Structure 1
Amino acid sequence: MTALVRIGELVTVDEVSEAIDAKVARAPGEFVPSEEQDSTPVEGSPGIDDPMAAEEVSIPSPAFSVYEVVTYDLTSNTYRLKTIIGVEIFRTVSKKNVVKMDGHFDKAAIAALAEHHEHFRASLGEHEPVPVTEAESEAEAEAQRRTDIMRQHCAKVDPISKRQAMAKLKVGPTIFHKIKRIYRLNPDWRAQIAGKDGRRPGEKRIDPDVDAIITAVFDSHRINYGANDAEALDEIQLQCQKINKRPPSRTTVWRRWHALSERDRLKSTDGPEAAQAKFGNYPTPTVEEFYPGRIHDIDHTPLDCHALSPTGDPLGRAFLTLVRDRDTQGIMGFALLFGAPKRASISAAVHMALCPKTALLAKFGLSHLHWPLYGKPVQYVVDHGSDLMAESFRVACDHEDIKHIPRLRPESGGGVERGLGILNRSFVQTLDGATASATKKGPGYKPHKKAVYTLERLTELIIVWICKFNNKKGRKDQLSPNQRFERKYGLHDGVIIPPPTVSDPGRFVIDILEGREVTVARNGVVTRELVYKFGPFSKMVGEKIYIKIDPNNLHRIWGLHKDHWHPLWLVNPHTEPLTLAEQKMILKARREDTDADNKRLDAQEQLNIIKAKGKKEAKAIQKAQEDVAQVERMGHFGPPQAPSEPDDAKPTTPMPIIIAELDEDI
Structure 2
Amino acid sequence: MVLDDRTGLPLGRPFVTGCIDDYSRCILGLFISFEPPSYLTVARCLRDAFLPKTWLQERYPRVSHCWEAHGVMRELVVDNGAEFHSDSLEAACWSLGIEIHYAPRKTGWFKAKIERFLGSMNRGIAHGTPGTTFSNIFEKDEYDPSKHAVVRLSVLQEMMRIWVVDYYHQKPHRTLGVPPASMWASCIRPEDILVPDDPARLDAILGRADGRVLSHRGIELDGLFYNSPELTGLRMRYGDRLDVEIRIDDSNIGEIIVLAPDKTRMFEVRCLSFEYADGLSRWQHQVCKRFAAHHIGASNPMSWLEAKEMIARIIDEEFAHKRRKSAKRLARYQSVEIAQLPKAPPSSTKQETEAFPRAEAPEQPPFPASEPKDPAEETSPPELPLKAKKRFAPVIRDRSPAMSEEFADDKQSRPAQGD
Q: Would you call these one fold, judging by a TM-score over 0.5?
A: yes
1:363 maps to amino acid: R
Counterpart check, 1:586 vs 2:288: yes
Please name the residue that 2:358 is paired with: none
| Alignment gaps of 5+ in structure 1 | 1-304, 491-495, 598-666
The answer as to whether partners of 1:307 and 1:317 remain within 8 angstroms in 2 is no
| Alignment gaps of 5+ in structure 2 | 300-419
Please name the residue that 1:449 is paired with: 147
SS state of the match for residue 458, structure 1?
helix
Check 1:557–1:310 CA distance in 2 against 1; reply closer, same or farther (3 A cut).
farther
Please name the residue that 1:400 is paired with: 96
Counterparts of 1:466 and 1:530 in 2: how far apart (Å)? 41
Of 517-526 and 501-510, deviating more is 501-510
Q: CA deviation at 1:415?
A: 1.0
Please name the residue that 1:571 is paired with: 272
Check 1:451–1:569 CA distance in 2 against 1; reply closer, same or farther (3 A cut).
farther
Alignment of 1:221-620 (within 5 A): 305-308=1-4, 310-366=6-62, 368-408=64-104, 409-440=107-138, 442=140, 444-467=142-165, 468-475=167-174, 477-490=176-189, 497-534=191-228, 536-539=230-233, 540=235, 542-561=241-260, 562-563=262-263, 564-576=265-277, 578-593=280-295
The answer as to whether partners of 1:548 and 1:559 remain within 8 angstroms in 2 is yes
Of 384-393 and 424-433, deviating more is 424-433
Q: CA deviation at 1:534?
A: 1.9
Q: CA deviation at 1:473?
A: 1.1
SS state of the match for residue 195, structure 2?
coil
1:437 maps to amino acid: S
Check 1:442–1:355 CA distance in 2 against 1; reply closer, same or farther (3 A cut).
closer
The answer as to whether partners of 1:532 and 1:571 remain within 8 angstroms in 2 is yes
Check 1:568–1:328 CA distance in 2 against 1; reply closer, same or farther (3 A cut).
same
The answer as to whether partners of 2:5 and 2:154 remain within 8 angstroms in 1 is no
SS state of the match for residue 358, structure 1?
coil
1:518 maps to amino acid: R
Counterparts of 2:195 and 2:129 in 1: how far apart (Å)? 35
2:161 maps to amino acid: I
Check 1:432–1:551 CA distance in 2 against 1; reply closer, same or farther (3 A cut).
farther
SS state of the match for residue 12, structure 2?
strand
* Count of aligned residue pairs for this structure pair: 288
The answer as to whether partners of 2:125 and 2:159 remain within 8 angstroms in 1 is no
Larger Rg: 1
Q: CA deviation at 1:515?
A: 2.0
Counterparts of 2:139 and 2:151 in 1: how far apart (Å)? 21
Counterparts of 2:229 and 2:23 in 1: how far apart (Å)? 44
SS state of the match for residue 485, structure 1?
helix
Check 1:387–1:314 CA distance in 2 against 1; reply closer, same or farther (3 A cut).
same
Q: CA deviation at 1:336?
A: 0.7
The answer as to whether partners of 2:75 and 2:100 remain within 8 angstroms in 1 is yes
Check 1:595–1:347 CA distance in 2 against 1; reply closer, same or farther (3 A cut).
closer
The answer as to whether partners of 1:354 and 1:505 remain within 8 angstroms in 2 is no
Check 1:307–1:535 CA distance in 2 against 1; reply closer, same or farther (3 A cut).
farther
**1:461-481 deviation digits (Å, cap 9, x = unpaired):** 111110121111123553111
The answer as to whether partners of 1:535 and 1:566 remain within 8 angstroms in 2 is no
SS state of the match for residue 377, structure 1?
coil
The answer as to whether partners of 2:63 and 2:161 remain within 8 angstroms in 1 is no
Counterparts of 2:296 and 2:176 in 1: how far apart (Å)? 68
1:512 maps to amino acid: L
The answer as to whether partners of 2:213 and 2:241 remain within 8 angstroms in 1 is yes
SS state of the match for residue 575, structure 1?
helix
Q: CA deviation at 1:510?
A: 3.2
RMSD: 2.6
TM (normalized to structure 2)?
A: 0.62
The answer as to whether partners of 2:169 and 2:181 remain within 8 angstroms in 1 is yes
Q: CA deviation at 1:527?
A: 1.1
Counterparts of 2:151 and 2:269 in 1: how far apart (Å)? 34
Counterparts of 1:323 and 1:432 in 2: how far apart (Å)? 27
Counterparts of 2:79 and 2:140 in 1: how far apart (Å)? 33
Counterparts of 2:127 and 2:180 in 1: how far apart (Å)? 24
